[in-house]
Amino acid sequence: MGRANGQPGLYYHRMRAPIDGMKPGDHVRVWFTAGRERTAPFEYTVTSDTGAPVLLVVAEDYSGRSSLQGATPYGSAPLYRGDYEAALTAAGIRFDTYDVDATGRTAP
């Protein structure tokens, strides 16, 4: 089972699994099963498959209503993306970057 979360009787359980054989443009429907239990299915479209072990998700709300980004010298661009990319590169970690604002404010 999972760990208790919130009210008594509510639980969560982290599940993950490799999904092989996909290529960019493929539309994938996924669900998890264990014993007689099954999660609700969810769908996504593959946009990239570089094999990088890390996905850097940049979500700085520079296209939204955040007052923190409104007065930046960078205009409509993330402020901290380069810092994280430099740290990952210095550590020798390959990564892909997903910019939430640049993709219509939708999560990956």
| CB 22, CB 37: distance < 8 Å | no
Report, as an integer, the average pLDDT of 3-21.
66
**Residue 2 binned pLDDT confidence (cut-offs 50, 70, 90):** very low
Q: For residues 56 and 107, which has the higher predicted lDDT (pLDDT)?
A: 56
- Written in H, E and C, the secondary structure of the chain is CCEECCCCCCEECCCCCCCCCCCCCCEEEECCEECCEECCCEEEECCCCCCCCEEEEECCCCCCCCHHHHCCCCCCCCCCHHHHHHHHHHCCCCEEEEECHHHCCCCC
Query: Mind listing the pLDDT tens digit for each residue in 20-65?
Result: 888 889 999 988 888 888 889 988 888 877 889 888 888 887 777 6
* Domains in the chain: boundaries: 1-49, 50-108
Query: Mind listing the pLDDT tens digit for each residue in 53-93?
Result: 888 888 887 777 665 555 445 556 788 889 999 999 999 99
pLDDT at 12: 64
Exposure string for 13-37, b = 16+ CB within 10 A, e = fewer: eeeeeeeeeeeeeeeeeeeeeeeee
105, pLDDT greater than 90? no
